[in-house]
Amino acid sequence: MTARRAGRRPGNPDTREAILTAARTAFAEKGYDGTSIRAIAAAADVDPALVHHYFGTKDKLFLAAMNSPVDPGEIIPAALAGDPAEIGFRLVRTFLSVWDSPAGKAGVAMLRSALSTEWTARLFREFVTSQVLRRVRSAVDMKPDEAPLRVTLVASQLAGVAMLRYVLRVEPLASAPRETLVAALGPTVQRYIAGDLDGAPPPAP
Amino acid sequence: MTARRAGRRPGNPDTREAILTAARTAFAEKGYDGTSIRAIAAAADVDPALVHHYFGTKDKLFLAAMNSPVDPGEIIPAALAGDPAEIGFRLVRTFLSVWDSPAGKAGVAMLRSALSTEWTARLFREFVTSQVLRRVRSAVDMKPDEAPLRVTLVASQLAGVAMLRYVLRVEPLASAPRETLVAALGPTVQRYIAGDLDGAPPPAP
């Protein structure tokens, strides 16, 4: 793309939206790692310094582009810190606390939009991978060759709870007390993180 | 609604669609149990015998209204039959087999549509509850007061896998061999059905 400094948009209210639109396209099409602030600025026809000025880091820009009600970069490290033997329980409790809070409503909207088309699904997958799964992987001690599957198994359990409890509101899951679910789901997440994944069925009696 | 026999639609190609539309509205608004073939026929302005002629039972009409690629009424009993100690493994294997088959594509479309609005979510919740969860509950031996939560926990794990493996296609879950996932997810589903749900975290060392 040819630089057209003279034609670049000034810092007006439309500029922010133009940057967010360019960011969504870039993250969906090139992925998180393949996207730079510079490329987004070029696509939005603004100076990279303006993108930094409005949004800060690439992570923060991604959060804004997704209308994410929370920052996984703050929540996940807090949930993961502490006794490794209880990490699954803390992850479930933190996940449910966020979804039970006012942020949960925005979470439902985000999930709905994410699943609506092939394109938004790709953008959401990039978001989950770069902002959530990667952070869990880097904070938890797991064998490198097992870690990718383990974190997606954790995500599968938590995503399913989000879908049934908050989006579809299937009872009694929708109204179950949070700690009931921590007790029920905690061992699952704990096993996905640190337990035996080759769970052969019990031998026939 | 006043019966208007003379004005009722004959068996033309539009009639089928009118019945399906009336069925979707009724199931979403009154629920499965609160909906009768008679009420759907009245709303579609056709004779109830015509609804039976086109669709058979209320269950079959619900399947058609949802564009469900498979009949849970056939699949679930087959998956549940056999050794109770391995029921969780069989449920996971059956679930993945259906989604890995050509029917999975229609499943993705169904899930996308289900989550898109509050109204379609209500319809889908009614479908999952009446066609899937109820069948699991009646086929598996569980304490009556625990059964409702147990089956929704099973559903939460399977729904999350559907979302990550088939809709979002998050790797490595999306490409993992089916039996790898049966081994990883089977113990989870088995515990939700028959194990201890009050999984206190392990005591600190």
* ipTM here: 0.88
Q: What CATH number is given for B72-194 in this structure? A: 1.10.357.10
What's chain A's length in residues? 205
CB contact under 8 A, B116 and A121: no
**CA dist list (Å): B43 to A73, A109, B39, B122:** 51, 32, 6, 19
pLDDT for position B203: 54
**CA dist list (Å): B41 to A43, B10, B119:** 55, 12, 21
Both tokens assigned to B195: 């194990």
Give the nearest chain A residue to B88 (CA atoms).
A201
pLDDT tens digits along A99-134: 999 999 999 998 888 888 888 999 999 999 999 999
Measured between beta carbons, the chain A residues lying within 8 angstroms of B131 are: none
All residues at 6 or more sequence positions from A122 whose CB lies less than 8 Å from its CB, including other chains: A28, A29
CB contact under 8 A, A152 and B164: yes
CA distance A97 to chain B (A): 17
Both tokens assigned to B172: 């490595």
CB contact under 8 A, B159 and A158: no
All residues at 6 or more sequence positions from A44 whose CB lies less than 8 Å from its CB, including other chains: A9, A15, A18, A19, A21, A22, A23, A51
CB contact under 8 A, A158 and B163: no
Q: What CATH number is given for A11-65 in this structure? A: 1.10.10.60
Q: What CATH number is given for B5-65 in this structure? A: 1.10.10.60
CB contact under 8 A, A173 and B183: no
pLDDT tens digits along B46-88: 999 999 999 999 999 999 999 898 999 999 998 888 898 999 9
Q: Which of A136, A73, A60, A68 is nearest to A103 (CA)?
A: A68
Full-model pTM: 0.88
> What stretch(es) of chain A map to CATH 1.10.357.10?
72-194
Q: Which of A90, A126, A188 to mutate to test the interface with B (most CBs of B within 10 A)?
A: A188
3-state secondary structure at position A171: coil
- Percent of chain A exceeding pLDDT 90 equals 71
Q: Which of B136, B188, B192 to mutate to test the interface with A (most CBs of A within 10 A)?
A: B188
> What stretch(es) of chain A map to CATH 1.10.10.60?
11-65
